[in-house]
């Protein structure tokens, strides 16, 4: 009986999971549903691509935010300046000014100067 049901599964699912384990039945039926339905396949692919894109942006934002924070700490330690302008940060780190402003605004350890809105400092 099991061999008869296994014959109706997509070949890829049979190779991937084997046909003897009863625990794989829900996954095999889900895999069959996705592979046999074009609309569902497109939605799943779009969701996966969206998730990968979001993860890529998150990692890139985190990396650049940490570079900005490190630069602000280094700048505070090496000079008498406590605040650095958006243009100075952008020039030093080769990040566009709009991106520097966005990342500084989001970072929890970077604070904007209340007098000059285009300058930032690190909160230690």
Question: What's the per-residue H, E or C state across the chain?
Answer: CHHHHHHCCCHHHHHHHCCCCHHHHHHHHHHHHHHHCHHHHHHHHHHHHHHHHHHHHHHHHHHHHHHHHHHHHHHHHHCCCCCEEHHHHHHHHCCCHHHHHHHHHHCCCEEECCCCCCEEEECC
What is the per-residue pLDDT for 16?
54
Give the span between the Cα atoms of 95 and 86, in whole angstroms.
10
Task: Mark the ranges of the chain whose per-residue pLDDT is less than 70.
Answer: 1-23
Looking at the DSSP assignment, which residues form a beta bridge with residue 112?
Answer: 120
> Six-digit token pair at 18?
């084997």
**Chain-centre distance of CA 41, in angstroms?**
23
3-state secondary structure of 21: coil
Give the span between the Cα atoms of 36 and 50, in whole angstroms.
22
What is the per-residue pLDDT for 10?
54
Say if CB 120 and CB 84 are below 8 A apart: yes
What is the per-residue pLDDT for 24?
77
What is the per-residue pLDDT for 19?
54
What is the per-residue pLDDT for 96?
95
Could you give the domains of the chain? 55-124 (1.10.10)
What is the per-residue pLDDT for 81?
85
Query: pTM of whole model > 0.75?
Result: no
What is the per-residue pLDDT for 22?
64
113 CB-near residues (< 8 Å, 6+ apart): 83, 119, 120, 121
What is the per-residue pLDDT for 121?
93
């Amino acid at each position: 009986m099991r061999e008869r049901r296994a014959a109706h599964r997509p070949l890829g699912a049979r190779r991937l999971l084997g046909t003897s384990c009863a625990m794989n039945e829900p996954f095999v039926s889900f895999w069959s549903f996705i592979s046999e339905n074009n609309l569902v396949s497109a939605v799943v692919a779009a969701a996966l691509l969206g998730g990968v894109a979001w993860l890529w942006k998150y990692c890139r934002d985190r990396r650049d935010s940490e570079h900005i924070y490190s630069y602000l700490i280094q700048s505070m330690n090496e000079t008498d300046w406590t605040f650095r302008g958006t243009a100075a940060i952008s020039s030093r780190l080769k990040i566009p000014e709009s991106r520097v402003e966005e990342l500084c605004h989001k970072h929890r350890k970077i604070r904007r100067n209340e007098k000059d809105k285009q300058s930032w400092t690190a909160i230690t």
